Every structure is written in C-alpha cells, then in structure tokens.
Amino acid sequence: MNDPDRRTKMMQLAAGTVFLAIVVVVALIVVNGSSSDSAGEPTPEDAGEVAQALRGIPQNGMVLGDPSAPVELAEFGDLQCPVCKGYAEEVLPGIIENQVKNGEVKIDFRNFTIIGPQSLPAGAAALAAGEQGRGWNFVELFYKNQGAENSGYADEAFLKSIAKAAGVKNMAKWNQDRAKLTSKVEETTKEAQQLGFNGTPSFALKGPGAKELEPIGTPSSTGALEEAIEGAG
Amino acid sequence: MSYPSEDNLRRWIAFVAALGVGVATYIAIVESGGGSPVCLAGGTGCATVAKSSYSHVAGVNIAIFGVIGYLLLLASAFFANDAARFGGFLVSLGGFGYSVFLTYIEIFKIEAICQWCVASAVLMTVIFLLNATRLIAYGGNELQEAR
C-alpha cells in the first residue's frame, strides 16, 4: 500500500539531507583549501618565544630535559605533520613547563617520517641542530612556520632559515651533520614501526629500571599525558 | 519512468557493498600492520595517502569507518522496508560526500592518488546512485512487498 503523505515527507527529508551533505562537503573543502599552503618565514619574535619557552632546560641531542630524569618520553613525530604541530602548541607546553622543568621527565624527539619526501631531510636537519644543542628550538620553530602537507615548502632555503633562527651557530657543521644523520632518521622511523605506530605523533615511555620503551599511543590531552608519565615514574 | 525492480536494486546494492567491504577491509588490515596498500601498477601513491594525517579521524583509520559503512549498506539490502531504504540512502549519501572530500584532498592537498581509495570512491558513488534510485522508486511503500 502506498501512502502519499509518508512518501512526500520521506522525499522532503531526503532532499534536506542531500542539501545538508552538499553544505558540509563544500564547507570541508573550503576550510581545508583556505588553510595556509605557504610556509612562513621564522621571525625574530618566533625565535624569541621559542627560546623563552625552552630557557634553562638542558638539551642533549634531541633530548629535552635533565639527562638524569627518571622517566623518558619518546615522541615520534614528523615535522611536516599538522597534528604534531597542534600537539606541540597545545599539549606539550604544559608537560615542558612542569614535568620537564622539575626534572621528572625528559622528552626525546625521534623522527617518524610518514608525510612525504621532504620529511626525511627536515628530520635530519633537526638532528643536526640537535648536535649544537638547538634541536628543540629547530623543531618548535619548524612547527610555528609549518606549511601545508607536501606542498614543497620544506626546501633547502626553508630548513636553513629555521636553523639560523633556532640559533645554530656553525652552519657549515650543521650542513655536514645533516647529511650524516639521514640514516638516523630512517632508524627511528623503523623503530616507530616496530613499536606498532602508524600515525604521528605517537609516544612511548621508559620508566626507571625499564629496559624497553612502552608504547602509549597518542594521549589526547596534557592531563592524559601527565598521568601516563606519572604512571611510568 | 520505469525503474528496475526493488529486488534487483537490492541485489546490486548487496553486491557492490560486498565489494566495498573487501576493499575497505584490505586497506584497514594492511594499515593496522603499519604498512600501506600496494598500488597495483606500482608507485607510492597509496603509501603517501595512507600515511597522511587525513587517513585518520580522531586517531581511527578511516578504512575502519569504511568497513562499518559498507556493512551497514550490505545489511540495508536485506530488508524491503522504508527504514532500510532511507537508512541505506543516508549512509551512502554520507559515504559519497566523504569520498568527494577525500578525492579533493588526494588531488589538491596530498597530491597523490591511491587506487584503492579511488576504487572505494567509485563503489560508494555507484551504491549511492542505487540507493537514491531505490528510495525515489520505492520510498513510502512501507507495506508493499518487495518486487
């Protein structure tokens, strides 16, 4: 039996949902299309802010924090990854300000290159800055000036401008080091895969006395990450 | 205008949804192992797409949502009532809309094409057209037996 009213209502509802779907898809495309495709140039203000946030915290290679901190937090990230940028700006500052500064945890940034071909040289450039105690300044400044994924912005000129702004003193050494450190980036990428990670950023913890890193995935907030660190300690 | 019988439409929906379950399950299984789908003609498009940040929503691989969507569409083909017709239409509309968005992202943002994603987008488009036809032709016939 056919019910004309019921049918009319159903068609109206279907038309409404089609309209809504079109609006949502167009909005998604507009929002993603308007996100900046071009990377920024690091400004002295950026460099100053980063230096201020990291002031007084020891940096050894890519490890931020007291080398004798009981807990090690390994962050597996890709410098081109927008989620890592968001994490660096919203979640990690709380950890750095408290648990890193008070010597509870040290954070080791390890490259997990998954976004595109420029992630590898970018990761090596960060490690080379780390050889001069500026690894975290490099990472933070890279994120601050990050462009759209795989848009080609992370070229030689960009990496050099980040290194200079990060405070790398010996650019010739930085240049030599990053060529050597490419293999290190590949190693940590394999390590991340062996830990079962398939996205960035992903985290792993090593508590006092532990021999192996324990994968913890991607805690959703500063609080969740704090709890995980406390649990490991 | 004459439409295919609802029975035929349901058979086609079930067939295409089953193919979709296969494609999405393949992508989900490969990626859960830390790998990426193998492009049939070689190339690295699938790896680039699979490892981009767009491949996950709230930390969940979108292939998992694909598997769930195709299973719902498959289920909708087994019932000849308005809930199944409208439910199938809604799920396929969502899947089709998201496929349009992901195809845009592949072409203009990631600048890499994954054949498996394209295959899924084509299947979702076909299934959306089948469900739209089913709803237009047979929606509102709650008490009518499937023809």
Residue A14 in contact with partner chain B when CB distance is under 8 A: yes
> What topology is assigned to A41-232 in CATH?
Glutaredoxin (3.40.30)
Task: Place B145 in a pLDDT band, splitting at 50, 70 and 90.
Answer: very low
| Predicted confidence (pLDDT) at residue B136 exceeds the cutoff of 70 | yes
Q: Are A96 and A102 within 8 A, CB to CB?
A: no
The number of distinct structural domains making up chain B is: 1
Q: Are B107 and B50 within 8 A, CB to CB?
A: no
Contact A1 B144 (CB under 8 A): yes
- Kindly state whether residue B143 falls inside one of the protein's structural domains: no
Indicate the pairing of strand A71-77 with strand A105-111: parallel
Contacts of A116 in chain B (CB under 8 A): 48
Contacts of A7 in chain B (CB under 8 A): 139-141
Tell me the residue range of the domain where B48 lies. 6-138
- Whichever domain contains B126, its CATH number is 1.20.1440.130
Q: Would you mind telling me the total number of residues written for chain B in this entry?
A: 147
pLDDT of residue A232: 87
Query: Which pLDDT tens digits describe chain A residue by residue (233 residues)?
Result: 556 788 888 888 999 999 999 999 898 888 776 554 556 678 888 888 899 999 999 999 999 999 999 999 999 999 999 889 888 988 899 999 999 999 999 999 999 999 889 999 999 999 999 999 999 999 999 999 998 888 888 988 899 999 999 999 999 999 999 999 999 999 999 999 999 998 899 999 999 978 899 999 888 788 889 999 998 87
- Kindly state whether residue B146 falls inside one of the protein's structural domains: no
- Kindly state whether residue B1 falls inside one of the protein's structural domains: no
Residues 6+ apart with CB under 8 A from B49: B36, B55, B106, B110, B112, B113, B114, B117
pLDDT of residue B146: 44
- Kindly state whether residue B61 falls inside one of the protein's structural domains: yes
Q: What is the mean pLDDT of chain B?
A: 84
What distance in Å separates residue A170's CA from the closest CA in chain B?
34
- DSSP β-bridge partners for residue A205: A73, A214
As given in the structure block, the two tokens for residue B3 are 């439409």
Residue A26 in contact with partner chain B when CB distance is under 8 A: no
- Kindly state whether residue B24 falls inside one of the protein's structural domains: yes
pTM above 0.80, yes or no: no
What distance in Å separates residue A182's CA from the closest CA in chain B?
19
pLDDT of residue B147: 44
- Kindly state whether residue B111 falls inside one of the protein's structural domains: yes
| Chain A interface test: which of B32, B51, B106 (most A C-beta within 10 Å) | B51
pLDDT of residue A139: 97
pLDDT of residue A150: 82
Contact A32 B97 (CB under 8 A): no
